[in-house]
Amino acid sequence: MALVAPSILSADFGRLHDDIVDVLDRGAHWVHVDVMDGRFVPNITIGPVVVAAAARAAKANGHNALVDVHLMIVEPDRYLQDFRDAGAEMLTVHAEACTHLHRTIQATKAMGAKAGVSLNPHTHESCLDYVLDDLDMVLVMTVNPGFGGQSLVESALRKSEKIRAEIERRGLKTLIEVDGGVKADNAKRFTDAGAHVLVSGSGVFGAKDRTAAIRALAAS
Ligand code: DX5
Ligand code: ZN
């Protein structure tokens, strides 16, 4: 069983509210929001104003979905408070974008948010050694961040397995989220590699039958 976090990057931004409520009505658990700055990654997406709109949708229609904000931006410390004020409940930064990662994690928690750290496909899990105990979540990028609809980088599964083993060894409650190339037909590979949370953009919003896709992901 996995938690399903549709990435709104593949939603229709002309009807964002309805698209988010639709996937929650169909059984999705979290709302994953991809913030890109055109510097850390080549693409530019959205800022706090749209996160606030997504956060309203996450709590609409009787839902209380966690607002999971993935910051693919340089110097994320400068914007943590803005995204927290916009309704982010999980704030995930990239290890590669943080000079003082420990400080960033503590600042996130001091704002009352859950703290996540993401690793690009090439980044070794050992960079989390001294912060893992402080983390609510590790986001293992299973594609190079920047765009939806890419295919899985296989070596990232091995990394997810190793991080899960270390979480178990330490007796932590830290979640592992995987992001990129996750679809109903390959989701079991990610949960077998230790993932608790499956992000899927094109695999949910682009699915012919969204209900079936969400059910299959959740059952993986
Ligand atoms: C990529 C983003 C992902 C993306 C996933 O940089 O972090 O969340 O939307 O898209 P799919 O599921 O289509 O690979
Ligand atoms: Zn993401």
What are the tens digits of pLDDT across the range 183-216? 999 999 999 999 999 999 999 999 999 999 999 9
pLDDT value at position 52?
A: 98
pLDDT value at position 75?
A: 98
Rounded (to 5) percent helix, strand, coil in the chain = 40, 20, 35
Ligand 1 site, residue 6, Cβ cutoff 6 A = no
**Is 209 noted as a catalytic residue in this protein?**
no
Atom of ligand 1 nearest to the CA of 200: 12
pLDDT value at position 116?
A: 99
Please name the residue that has the structure tokens 């800022």: 47
Q: What is the pLDDT of residues 118-143, one digit of tens each?
A: 999 999 999 999 999 999 999 999 99
pLDDT value at position 9?
A: 98
**Is 179 noted as a catalytic residue in this protein?**
yes
Ligand 1 site, residue 46, Cβ cutoff 6 A = no
Contacts of 129 (CB under 8 A, 6+ apart): none
Which residues fall inside 5 Å of ion ligand 2, going by CB?
Answer: 34, 70, 179
Q: What is the pLDDT of residues 136-182, one digit of tens each?
A: 999 999 999 999 999 999 999 999 999 999 999 999 999 999 999 99
pLDDT value at position 44?
A: 98
pLDDT value at position 41?
A: 98
Q: From ligand 2's centre to the CA of 33, what distance in Å? A: 7
Q: From ligand 2's centre to the CA of 112, what distance in Å? A: 21
Helices (H), 8-143: 16-25, 48-58, 80-85, 101-110
HSE-CB of 68 using CA atoms within 13 angstroms = 31
**Residue 178 CA to its chain's centroid (Å):** 7
Contacts of 158 (CB under 8 A, 6+ apart): 193
